[in-house]
């Protein structure tokens, strides 16, 4: 009998594996999911699964990259919105980030397992996440300097600093101690302080 995966190209098959891992991680958590279980859910042997992903951490890395790309697309729509002011873009960016991260926490109560593992084993991936978000935020700051008379001597450094001040709104360990309404209120206060700090001084 012909194997089902012979009919799929490598990219499609890897997406199928990530979908199966997604379902497992969601139900049982990263630590309690075995490669053999993911392989069984896809309908392939464990040995065949290792041909595409050498380890469970590699699956988690690809899964995280897929999430990053999804999130960055949503953030880029805000950054590139032509009829929005820099202030509106900054607020929209911050709240999109908060809502995306909060929804992930609701879908994955054990998401800290994946995050802790990736931070320990795949530091470059964590930096990729930070740098992707910082680059988009830098575009907003640049618009603010050009259009709204914001003061920002080093835009790239400022974007990383702002993201650091938003750690409460992007780290599940901290986020789970608040409900969404409380987080929105705290973020609104942080944005007000930030916008006041960016205003040009006479």
Q: What is the pLDDT of residues 35-78, one digit of tens each?
A: 999 999 999 999 999 999 999 999 999 989 988 999 999 999 99
Decide if 61 is inside a domain.
no
Judgement on whether residues 82 and 15 belong to the same structural domain of the protein: no
Residue 202: the pLDDT is 60
pTM over 0.75: yes
Instruction: Please tell me the total count of domains within the chain.
Output: 2
What whole-number percentage of the chain has pLDDT above 70? Answer: 96
Closest CA to 151 of 198, 202, 87: 198
pLDDT tops 70 at residue 2: no
CA angle 34, 105, 53 (to 5 degrees): 30
Scored b (16 or more CB within 10 A) or e, 30-47 reads beebebeebbebbebeee
Note the pLDDT tens digit of each residue in 127-153: 999 999 999 999 999 999 999 789 999
| Average pLDDT rounded to a whole number, residues 146-165 | 93
Range of the domain at 92: 66-109+122-198
Judgement on whether residues 167 and 78 belong to the same structural domain of the protein: yes
Judgement on whether residues 76 and 29 belong to the same structural domain of the protein: no
Judgement on whether residues 75 and 143 belong to the same structural domain of the protein: yes
Q: How far apart are CA 165 and CA 74, in angstroms?
A: 21
Q: How far apart are CA 149 and CA 40, in angstroms?
A: 58
Scored b (16 or more CB within 10 A) or e, 69-87 reads eebbeebeebbeeeebebb
Q: Which string of DSSP letters, residue by residue, matches 46-60?
A: HHHHHHH-SSHHHHH
Judgement on whether residues 185 and 102 belong to the same structural domain of the protein: yes
Contact between 55 and 17 under an 8 Å Cβ cutoff? The reply is no
Name which of 91-95, 123-127, 197-201 the model is least confident about.
197-201
Residue 74: the pLDDT is 95
Decide if 57 is inside a domain.
no
Residue 76: the pLDDT is 96
Assign 153 to helix, strand or coil. coil
Q: How far apart are CA 52 and CA 176, in angstroms?
A: 34
What are the φ/ψ torsions at residue 172 (nearest 5 degrees)? -55, -35
pLDDT tops 60 at residue 1: no
């Amino acid at each position: 009998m012909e194997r089902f995966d012979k009919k799929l190209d490598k990219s499609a098959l890897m997406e199928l594996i990530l979908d199966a891992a997604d379902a497992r991680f969601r139900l049982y958590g990263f630590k309690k999911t075995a490669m053999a279980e993911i392989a069984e859910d896809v309908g392939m042997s464990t040995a065949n699964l290792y041909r595409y992903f050498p380890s469970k951490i590699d699956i988690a890395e690809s899964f995280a990259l897929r999430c990053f790309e999804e999130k960055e697309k949503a953030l880029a729509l805000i950054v590139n919105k032509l009829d929005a002011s820099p202030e509106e873009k900054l607020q929209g960016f911050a709240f999109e980030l908060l809502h995306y991260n909060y929804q992930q926490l609701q879908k994955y109560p054990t998401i800290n397992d994946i995050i802790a593992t990736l931070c320990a084993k795949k530091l470059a991936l964590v930096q990729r996440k930070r740098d992707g978000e910082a680059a988009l935020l830098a575009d907003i700051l640049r618009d603010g300097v050009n259009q709204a008379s914001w003061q920002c001597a080093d835009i790239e450094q400022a974007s990383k600093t702002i993201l650091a001040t938003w750690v409460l709104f992007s780290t599940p360990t901290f986020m789970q101690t608040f409900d969404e309404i409380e987080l929105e209120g705290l973020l609104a206060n942080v944005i007000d302080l930030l916008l006041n700090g960016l205003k040009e001084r006479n």
